[in-house]
Amino acid sequence: MTGLTVTTVKAVAAVGPGLLRGVYSVLWDSSYPTGGEVLDMTTDFDYVYGCSIISNDTLADNGYKWGCIVPAPGTAATSTNVLLDCHWEENPADTGGANIPFPEFTGDLSAVGQMMIIVWGA
């Protein structure tokens, strides 16, 4: 698998003047790239304003912090400028070091369960 596997759960619909919302299922692959995984929303949106991570299906996912990187206001969405990123609580205190709060994740996220996201845009 390469990149994210994104499936539409609820088609994009207007939720207010100039505002669209879509709901998607996301599965991660085994190679998380530095800076985040591309979330190509160009089929559904001209502009992406933000994403809400609303759930996942694996309790082991706790400890990860998910984010969405979107273009600057007024910048159109492209196939590469909307990203989902992952940070996690690194805990070297178990071996005598200090906790490192939420560095960017590096490694394999394929074991993370299905995530549901809401994407907001126009």
Number of domains in the chain: 1
Q: What is the CATH number of the domain that holds 46?
A: 2.60.40.3940
Global pTM value: 0.84
**What pLDDT is attached to residue 2?**
64
Residue whose pair of structure tokens reads 């502009």 in the numeric block: 47
**What pLDDT is attached to residue 62?**
60
**Residue 24: which domain range?**
5-121
Query: Phi and psi (nearest 5°) for 53?
Result: -85, 115
Q: What's the pLDDT tens digit per position in 8-38? A: 999 999 999 999 999 999 998 888 888 899 9
Q: What's the pLDDT tens digit per position in 74-122? A: 999 999 999 999 887 766 666 666 767 778 888 888 888 888 999 999 9
